[in-house]
């Protein structure tokens, strides 16, 4: 018999509060972050949805994306077609949308980041494009590209600053970040024209794989909902939106690193036709898939380089102030290493205090401490960062957390 408890955050799909705790996770967050430094990954006893039992509310997450969004710096963010892998992902998504939507339809991208998808659609001849995002830097990027965009907190979407309806509303890799799922989707629904549709894409939690990334990669302070295609179907039907097509895809985010995703098209009317939901090959419930992911992550959570650096106590500069470092500083030997500074190329991270250090640029800190070991702490682009670091600082000892 499973041990259950009462959630701090009721299930965002069915509203039930009885949960099974699957895993507890901790983060070391930047000073003044509005988000919690720990929470449980839980499964709803009523509907089986897996989510973060975070005590923070939607306004705290809105504030986080306003102040700390990693999507506003085009040199490092995803969602802006800044590297070949990100560009390929966005091009595939734009092709999927273009196959279903005519070029004279009005499109709104909610949580548009720096506008990569909207730009890809414009390249395909779409003219009536708009974006919404909660990060000022993202809106500034879209303004430079000539695409209308509105700075708006997700919790304020229901107030609707729009005096028009849209033929397509896009929520691409947004819902996994949202506390209040049904209010947001209801607000998106209210913006649809009579024959309008919603396109949703999220990570696919039924196919998380720690071997592809680092252990617990998909559990971070931002991703607080873990969907599979069946959860998306249940959520849509809960607010009377009707799935008309759905599918799974794989996004290559770096060389030989594949990120699972799932998508669904929704309509206001059942007359559009019902989507045939993808059947799992082994009929494994999401809760069981996540349990396996947690067990596999625990088995692979070994970082010999950190143990060696802890033992030597040589001065270390950490390159990376993102989610991977946030987990490592909280639950690995990294917290006991002789860290003398932290650097990051993300301009929005620089100047913030993280793990007791003010994040700065690599050029500034390595120029002061050329004798230090540079430790690359990145889950995805670690090889590219290490290569860049060796070119910038040829005399520096560059290692990666993922080194064996």
Tell me if residue 115 falls in helix, strand or coil.
Answer: coil
Residue whose C-alpha is closest to residue 263's, from 203, 307, 215: 203
* The residue to which tokens 């991208």 are assigned: 109
- What's the confidence (pLDDT) of residue 85? 87
Q: Do domains 65-277 and 302-400 have the same CATH topology?
A: yes
| CATH hierarchy code of domain 302-400 | 3.40.50.720
Residue 272: what pLDDT? 58
The residues of the chain scoring below 50 in pLDDT are 77, 79-81, 281-282
pLDDT in tens, 211-244: 889 999 999 999 999 999 999 999 999 999 999 9
- At the fourth CATH level, the homologous superfamily of domain 65-277 is Vaccinia Virus protein VP39 (3.40.50.150)
Please indicate, yes or no, whether the overall pTM of this predicted structure exceeds 0.85: yes
* Secondary structure (3-state) at 51: strand
Give Cβ neighbours of residue 26 (< 8 Å, ≥ 6 apart): 37, 38, 327, 330, 331
Residue extents of the structural domains in the chain: 65-277, 302-400
- CA separation (Å) from 275 to 198, 235, 271? 13, 14, 11
Q: Per the structure block, which two tokens stand in for 199?
A: 């396109």
């Amino acid at each position: 018999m499973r041990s259950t408890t009462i959630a701090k955050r009721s299930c965002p799909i069915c509203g039930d509060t009885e949960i099974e705790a699957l895993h507890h996770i901790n983060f070391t967050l930047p000073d003044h972050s509005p988000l919690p430094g720990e929470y449980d990954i839980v499964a709803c006893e009523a509907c089986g949805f897996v989510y973060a039992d975070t005590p923070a509310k939607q306004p705290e997450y809105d504030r986080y994306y306003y102040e700390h969004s990693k999507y506003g710096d085009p040199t490092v963010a995803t969602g802006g077609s800044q590297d070949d892998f990100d560009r390929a992902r966005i091009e595939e998504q734009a092709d999927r949308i273009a196959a279903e939507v005519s070029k004279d339809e009005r499109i709104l991208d909610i949580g548009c980041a720096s506008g990569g998808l909207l730009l890809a659609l414009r390249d395909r001849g779409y003219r009536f494009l708009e974006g919404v995002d909660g990060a000022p830097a993202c809106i500034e990027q879209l303004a430079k590209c000539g695409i209308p965009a509105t700075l708006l907190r997700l919790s304020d979407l229901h107030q609707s600053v729009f005096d028009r309806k849209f033929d397509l509303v896009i929520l691409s890799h947004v819902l996994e970040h949202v506390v209040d799922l049904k209010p947001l989707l209801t607000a998106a629904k209210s913006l649809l024209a009579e024959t309008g549709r919603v396109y949703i894409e999220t990570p696919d939690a039924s196919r998380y794989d720690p071997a592809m990334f680092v252990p617990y990669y998909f559990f971070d302070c931002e991703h607080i909902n873990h969907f599979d295609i069946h959860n998306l179907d249940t959520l849509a039907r809960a607010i009377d939106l009707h799935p008309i097509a759905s599918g799974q895809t794989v996004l290559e985010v770096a060389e030989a690193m594949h990120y699972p995703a799932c998508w669904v098209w929704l309509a206001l009317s059942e007359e559009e036709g019902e989507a045939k939901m993808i059947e799992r090959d082994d009929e494994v419930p999401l809760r069981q898939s996540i349990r396996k992911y947690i067990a596999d992550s625990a088995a692979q959570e070994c970082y010999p380089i950190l143990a060696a650096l802890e033992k030597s106590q040589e001065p270390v500069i950490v390159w990376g102030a993102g989610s991977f470092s946030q987990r490592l500083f909280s639950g690995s030997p990294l917290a006991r290493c002789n860290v003398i500074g932290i650097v990051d190329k993300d301009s929005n991270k620089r100047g913030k205090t993280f793990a007791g250090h003010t994040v700065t640029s690599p050029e500034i800190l390595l120029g002061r401490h050329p004798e230090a070991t540079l430790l690359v702490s990145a889950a995805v682009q670690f090889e590219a960062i290490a290569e860049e670091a060796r070119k910038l600082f040829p005399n520096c000892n560059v290692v990666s957390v993922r080194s064996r």
